[in-house]
Structure 1
Amino acid sequence: MLPSKMPVMLLGPDGRPTAAGTAHLPADDELLRGFAGMVAARRFNDQASALVRQGRLAVYPSSHGQEACQVAAAQVLDAEDWLFPTYRDTAAVVARGGDPVEVLGLLKGDWHSGYDPYGLRVGPLTTPLATQLPHAVGVAHAARLRGERTVVLAMCGDGATSEGDFHEALNFAAVFHAPVVFFVQNNQYAISVPLARQSVAPSLAHKGVGYGIPGEQVDGNDLAALLGVLSGAVARARAGEGPQLVEGRTYRIQAHTNADDATRYRTDDEVTAWAAKDPLVRLETYLRAEGILDDARAAAFTEAAEEVARRTRDGMNRDVEPDPDDLFRFVYSRPTPQLVEQLAVVHDELSRTELEARP
């Protein structure tokens, strides 16, 4: 039940297989698929950050440097499974098949969740820390009661492990044997709070032991190791072995959001050291050394990523005329008296504004 003493690693930062990696690397096609996903995720992050600077997005929490975690989380799931992301996991939702423009809808502020959760089998992006975890457990518990083979993968960050929702979700999942995988992306900071100020446990993966949940820690910049560990956790949950906890050790290369000044709480040397462990460079080095990736295929991956960026850019540059009634239309199937009253106030305010604007 205890995690390994050191994070599982199959490819070292230099792209060479470790002793474990020599025997346990995923199939070449899975690694290529993951690399293509990471190239697209990196380009998506860069495009979204540019849209913030252009005033087309209100805010964007980049996952630059965490692309291996994002892509692996989506890649290990089957079509009938569910993914529950956080606000930083937009790249994971795109990798799951989400339309990039719809995925950014919430961060632009023009729609409730941006995409259809039921169509994608992806929960809405969540800004409050850890609130999606009990929801994920509920979906997993319901699937088990119905006899479905569904597994739910719930993502969160290291900061979320300090929230009550995290512990409540783990306890409920363990007691009711829910088929859910809790995936903690430990990027070393809860906004500006370093991990040392959040927990003194040997690892965040150790937190599962108190609830009877097996945990494992993995190098979050090693896509090969992530695919192996996460797919194993999903398989065990699907086989009826209950919830699993996985901690991915990674790093948030860019600031928390565009509104954050990361230089106030971390050094350039720290960022540089982690940048040298870039997940894309690590996997590309291995794939090229083994003759699995050539220039033509790499160019095709880059072209596909540029197409994602183009679609994102074109879609976000279209102005949307918001309908104020949408604020109330999708809260309850039958509006409460309070909502009806609030809607009337909005209509009154808008009508007054229109009258005042007339010449």
Structure 2
Amino acid sequence: MTLPMTPQPGALDGEHDLVQLLAPDGTRRHDPRYPLEVDRAQLEGWYRDLVLARRIDTEAFALQRHGELGLWPPALGQEAAQIGSGRALRDQDFVFPTYRQHGVAYCRGIDPALLLGMFRGTELGGWDPHEYRYALPQIIIGAQTLHATGYAMGLLLDGAVGHGDTERDTAAIAYLGDGATSQGDVAEAFVWAASYQAPVVFFCENNQYAISVPLERQTRVPIAQRAAGFGFKGVRVDGNDVLACYAVTRAALDAARQGFGPSLIEAVTYRIGAHTTSDDPRRYREDAETEAWRAKDPIDRVRIHLQREGSDAAFFATVEAEADQLGAHLREVCGRLPEPDLVGLFDHVYTDVPEELARQRDDAIAWQATDEGGDR
């Protein structure tokens, strides 16, 4: 028996019912559901954010290829989804990310150099989640949606919702990928958040692949439509449009803070690079597909629009110079990081260490004492 694996015609069309405020050719569009007035100075600031977020990513990728990091999860092509949503947050809002939200971490004021230690194996995070209102990245796919929902329930119990006070009313936001929507944890979080009207926004960066599994083998309808089945609002947005991502996320966060409950945002974007640096996407997708998405690049459309609005070459040169400085900072910091501690991998895992794990730790200590282990 052959099972049909393709969606209904047009069901996953990237242009279907998509909120878009800045087209790939730089044309400004308007959507009465999401009014947004942005002056040139503000958009120049977001352009700078986009460029710096990409430099964080490309620099870390290069460091991994030079053997300085053990792994890196690229976010190339997904910058608008992260910067747009990240800039919509208020200081008091709390972020529950995955391992790929480098741009959101940057928006929260975290030194991107702190991200490097995790992927070198020398840090467990490197920042205080309460200081930045940014949780340590979750590696278990989808689990952060439960954490965000639980935190949002705490906000309800603390009375931090629905006062009309911009400094007091608070929301949580959970980032997830399209692959995570197939996890039971995510469905559980949706049910709980909807049942209790928890002030949480689920922001799905739909980059079209769950590692190598394409979207059409994960769902037969747009991801945003799943929200209706749980009883809350779902919105599809052009994930390569920083303006639309900002406007839609701002509206969803405002609704959550006012006590109107959860919402799901599906930011339709594309993972230009690999899932991680251990992945080769050429094994499961065509180059023509990737090139078609490059034409929708989130940075190019903002640059084109700004050039039309009068931003000059000096502005763009200044941004590039700042990106070069950031790259140098990351290389310098990474060069000072210590070598990963093999035995340290066993620390902070269990309060009461299981017998098997204790045996493995002893084996690691013994191996390090040998000539082979001592050289590594």
Q: Do both share a fold (TM > 0.5)?
A: yes
> SS where residue 110 of structure 1 aligns?
coil
Q: Verify: 1:90 aligned to 2:102, yes or no.
A: yes
Q: Structure 1 211/343 Cα, relative in aligned 2: closer, same or farther at 3 Å?
A: same
2:365 is aligned to 350
Q: Verify: 1:163 aligned to 2:178, yes or no.
A: no
2:20 is aligned to 9
Contact 1:63/1:89 (CA < 8 Å) preserved in 2?
yes
- Which stretch of the first structure deviates more once superposed, 115-124 or 4-13? 4-13
TM-aligned CA deviation for residue 284 of structure 1:
1.1
TM-aligned CA deviation for residue 327 of structure 1:
4.8
Q: Structure 1 262/321 Cα, relative in aligned 2: closer, same or farther at 3 Å?
A: closer
1:316 is aligned to 334
TM-aligned CA deviation for residue 71 of structure 1:
0.9
User: How many pairs are equivalent?
Assistant: 349
Q: Structure 1 160/353 Cα, relative in aligned 2: closer, same or farther at 3 Å?
A: closer
Q: Verify: 1:134 aligned to 2:146, yes or no.
A: yes
2:313 is aligned to 295
Residues 1-359 of structure 1 mapped to structure 2, 5 A cutoff? 6-20=17-31, 24-28=35-39, 29-148=41-160, 149-201=169-221, 203-291=222-310, 293-320=311-338, 327=345, 330=348, 335-336=351-352, 338=353, 346=361, 350=365, 353-354=368-369
1:72-119: CA deviation from partner (whole Å, max 9, x where unpaired) = 221111111111111121232123211112122221111222332222
- Which stretch of the first structure deviates more once superposed, 256-265 or 226-235? 256-265
TM-aligned CA deviation for residue 205 of structure 1:
0.4
> SS where residue 153 of structure 1 aligns?
strand
* Letter of the 1:170 counterpart: F
Contact 1:325/1:343 (CA < 8 Å) preserved in 2?
no
Contact 1:94/1:103 (CA < 8 Å) preserved in 2?
no
2: distance between equivalents of 1:346 and 1:164?
33
* Letter of the 1:299 counterpart: A
> SS where residue 147 of structure 1 aligns?
coil
2: distance between equivalents of 1:82 and 1:218?
22
Q: Structure 1 68/137 Cα, relative in aligned 2: closer, same or farther at 3 Å?
A: same
> SS where residue 336 of structure 2 aligns?
coil
Q: TM-score, normalised by structure 1?
A: 0.90
Contact 2:205/2:239 (CA < 8 Å) preserved in 1?
yes
TM-aligned CA deviation for residue 19 of structure 1:
4.7
2: distance between equivalents of 1:71 and 1:352?
45
1:26-70: CA deviation from partner (whole Å, max 9, x where unpaired) = 422432222111010111111011001110111111111110011
TM-aligned CA deviation for residue 340 of structure 1:
9.9
TM-aligned CA deviation for residue 161 of structure 1:
0.6
1:166-203: CA deviation from partner (whole Å, max 9, x where unpaired) = 111111111121111100011111111111100001x1
TM-aligned CA deviation for residue 352 of structure 1:
7.8
Contact 2:342/2:364 (CA < 8 Å) preserved in 1?
no
- Which stretch of the first structure deviates more once superposed, 10-19 or 185-194? 10-19
Q: Structure 1 53/209 Cα, relative in aligned 2: closer, same or farther at 3 Å?
A: same
Contact 2:120/2:340 (CA < 8 Å) preserved in 1?
no
> SS where residue 235 of structure 2 aligns?
strand
2: distance between equivalents of 1:114 and 1:82?
17
TM-aligned CA deviation for residue 228 of structure 1:
0.7
TM-aligned CA deviation for residue 142 of structure 1:
0.7
User: Cα RMSD (Å) of the superposition?
Assistant: 2.4
> SS where residue 24 of structure 1 aligns?
coil
- Which stretch of the first structure deviates more once superposed, 8-17 or 108-117? 108-117
1: distance between equivalents of 2:368 and 2:209?
44
* Letter of the 1:96 counterpart: R
Q: Structure 1 259/281 Cα, relative in aligned 2: closer, same or farther at 3 Å?
A: same
1:192-238: CA deviation from partner (whole Å, max 9, x where unpaired) = 1111100001x100111111110100000111111111111111111
State percent identity of aligned pairs.
40
Q: Structure 1 139/30 Cα, relative in aligned 2: closer, same or farther at 3 Å?
A: farther
Contact 2:81/2:245 (CA < 8 Å) preserved in 1?
yes
1: distance between equivalents of 2:139 and 2:360?
28
Q: TM-score, normalised by structure 2?
A: 0.86
Q: Structure 1 60/345 Cα, relative in aligned 2: closer, same or farther at 3 Å?
A: closer
* Letter of the 1:187 counterpart: N
2:10 is aligned to none
Can you give the 5+ residue segments of structure 2 that lack an aligned partner in the other structure?
1-14, 161-168
